[in-house]
Copies of this chain bind each other. A is one copy, B any other.
Amino acid sequence: MKHIESVKNNKVKQWKKLHKKKEREQSGTFLIEGFHLIEEALKIDGLIEEIIVADDRSIPSDWNLNNVELIYAVPNVLKELSETETPQGIVAICRIPKSNDEAIKPNQRLLFLDNVQDPGNVGTMIRTADAAGLDLVILGEGCADLYSSKVIRSTQGSLFHLPIIRGNLSEWIQKAKEQEIPVYGTSLQNGIPYNEITPSESFALILGNEGKGMAEEHLNETDQNLYIPIFGQSESLNVGVAAGILMYYLRG
């Protein structure tokens, strides 16, 4: 069993670099932390490469660690690798899944994000998409990086529950249309109230940037654009809240 004694260990330096997007992309790996997330990740065969755990913590006995390297380390190493205020003393190094040829099938429910920049919003929307039983999430141009610690944390593990793909939004809108899935954009100014749509077994819903909304280009590619009526004096809804209202309404 490997044991790491110091934060100056080369492995620790390498792992810590995974806090940066560029390093994640170069190495094809990302870092997750905490018992709950690692437990979720272990359910996917071959996702986790290494688990690093503090000497003063223990691995739950029901974890299946086939093909996973388990490394113990002094607690300071785990503090060094953590990006949270209260580290749980355990992290794992995971492989970024290869961008497979995920295809859209008929009758699916899809969430497309256009330039959603806040990591908490992206993560929360993935969590809600999972809860609402959606089949696929597409992260279009300008979205926060899926493998940043804040996005991962906000998904609460849902990033391991459904396929999430970075892609070109116009192409994916086209693919949805080819499967005869209705594509709904969202806009504060134009479109129709969401509840004029009849819920159906399939849809592609697009949410846009926190400040600017969806790009004009994509608003013109949809079958219909929707808005959520504002009954009070606020100017808009949080995009994650809007996504939740729409996903649960549309699925009926």
A interface list, Cβ under 8 A from B: 120, 124, 127-134, 154, 156-158, 161-162, 228, 230-238, 240-245, 248-249, 251
Contact = CB atoms under 8 A, between A and B. Distances in A.
Contacts of A242: 244
B231 A132 contact: yes
A233 B251 CA distance: 16
A121 B224 CA distance: 31
A130 B130 CA distance: 27
Contact of A233 (B158, B231, B240, B244): B158
Oligomer copy total: 2
A161 B232 CA distance: 8
A136 B156 CA distance: 31
B240 A240 contact: yes
Contacts of A244: 237-238, 241-242, 244-245
B124 A234 contact: no
Contacts of A245: 244-245, 248
A250 to B, nearest CB: 12
Contact of A132 (B131, B232, B236): B232
Contacts of A235: 156-157
A157 B234 contact: yes
